[in-house]
Amino acid sequence: MIRPRRTNNRSGFLTADDFTYDREKDCYVCPQGEVLKLKGYQRTVHRKAYVADKKVCDTCPLRAKCTTSQQHGRMITRFIDDYFEHADRLVQSEREKQLLRQRQTVIEGVFGEAKSFHLLQRVLFRGKVKLRIQLLLTAAVLNLKRLLSWQPRRTAAFTLPRVVSKFITSKIDIIRNLLVYSAPALES
For residue 32, what pLDDT is reported?
Answer: 86
**pLDDT of 182:** 56
Could you tell me the strand order of the sheet in which 35-42 lies?
20-22, 27-29, 35-42, 47-52, 75-79
Q: Mean pLDDT over residues 121-127, rounded?
A: 82
pLDDT confidence of residue 58: 84
Which pLDDT value is given to residue 29?
Answer: 92
Q: What is the mean pLDDT of the chain?
A: 77
Report the candidate in 175, 164, 101 with the shortest Cα–Cα distance to residue 132: 175
What confidence tens digit (pLDDT) does each residue in 22-40 have?
888 888 998 888 888 889 9
Q: pTM for this one?
A: 0.49
Task: With beta carbons less than 8 A apart as the criterion, state whether 62 and 14 touch.
Answer: yes
The predicted model gives 124-143 an average pLDDT of 86
Average pLDDT over residues 60-77: 83
pLDDT digits (tens, 9 = 90+) for 149-187: 776 665 555 555 565 666 666 666 666 666 555 555 544
